[in-house]
Amino acid sequence: MLALSIAAFPEELPIQMLAEIFAAADAQVRAAGALLAGGHTIRDAEPKYGLAVVGTVHPEGIWPKNGARPGDALFLTKPLGTGLIMSGVKHGIVGTQPLERAIRWMRTLNKDAADVIRPFAPHAVTDVTGFGLFGHAHEVAERSGVRIVLESERLPAIDGALDLARKGVRTSGDPRNRDFAAAHVSAEGLVEAYDALGYDPQTAGGLLVALPRDKGPALEAAFEAKHLFLRRVGLVEEGAGVAVV
């Protein structure tokens, strides 16, 4: 698997800072089992950095979005709220602790979680990123031809994220995610803060996993043994759409 850097930096940014960014990216790429093979850098007024990744996977190792089945349990491997916390930072209303927690989760690779999940042969897996939990749950439900039920009180949040949601903080991606998924999400009576959490776009979010319910306890035990985060957040039923209860 190969990764290419895609970077944009202002000329005023110190060269040493750029070197540290590239070095840190190289370290994370190697930790994920890939190699950083080059890339492209341009001048821009605002610093930006990302990666394009190219690789191969054995056909039997592909985890689809369209395989969730009625009776499956749903699990999430990271708490939510990176978008809310970063918006709070921009507005100057977040302390250092929530920011540090968000950064720690954004820097946590999904590799270890995926390694634990793999022997359980999950029916469907997707990462929770820009569309937020509700948006990506809608993708799984629509492509699998099922109804996904999410339990609002079990939705995990990074410490500080729900407080920001209660204060009315939202990201610029929140309305776009609602445009994408809200018509397919039933959330009557949902507390507004959890509604915001569900539509919050995530940077480097966790995995949403659907697998047979009877495998759930063993999966939880395997994550606990590795000291990794896991939360059961719902189930899969016959029907269509996403219901948040």
Return the CATH number at 22: 3.30.1330.10
Single residue among 54, 77, 93 that ends a domain in this structure: 54
Distance CA 112, CA 191 (A): 33
pLDDT for 152: 94
What is the end-to-end Cα distance of the chain in Å, rounded? Answer: 40
Band of residue 58 on the pLDDT scale cut at 50, 70, 90? confident
Do 110 and 191 belong to one domain? Answer: yes
Do 26 and 145 belong to one domain? Answer: no
Backbone angles phi, psi at 92, to 5 degrees: 70, 30
Do 125 and 19 belong to one domain? Answer: no
Do 42 and 123 belong to one domain? Answer: no
Single-letter amino acid, residue 70? P
Do 173 and 68 belong to one domain? Answer: yes
CA angle 176, 172, 91 (to 5 degrees): 160
**pTM for this structure?**
0.90
Do 110 and 11 belong to one domain? Answer: no
C-alpha neighbours within 13 Å on the C-beta side of residue 5: 23
Distance CA 33, CA 29 (A): 7
Structural domain count, the chain: 2
Single residue among 54, 72, 94 that ends a domain in this structure: 54
Do 102 and 221 belong to one domain? Answer: yes
Question: What range does the domain containing 18 cover?
Answer: 2-54
Mean residue pLDDT of the chain comes to: 95
The bridge status of strand 35-43 relative to strand 124-127 is unpaired
pLDDT for 112: 96
Distance CA 168, CA 175 (A): 13
Give per-residue pLDDT as tens, 163-201: 999 999 999 999 999 999 999 999 888 999 999 999 999
C-alpha neighbours within 13 Å on the C-beta side of residue 237: 11
C-alpha neighbours within 13 Å on the C-beta side of residue 124: 29
Of 119, 155, 110, the closest CA to residue 137 belongs to: 155
Do 48 and 87 belong to one domain? Answer: no
Distance CA 149, CA 14 (A): 49
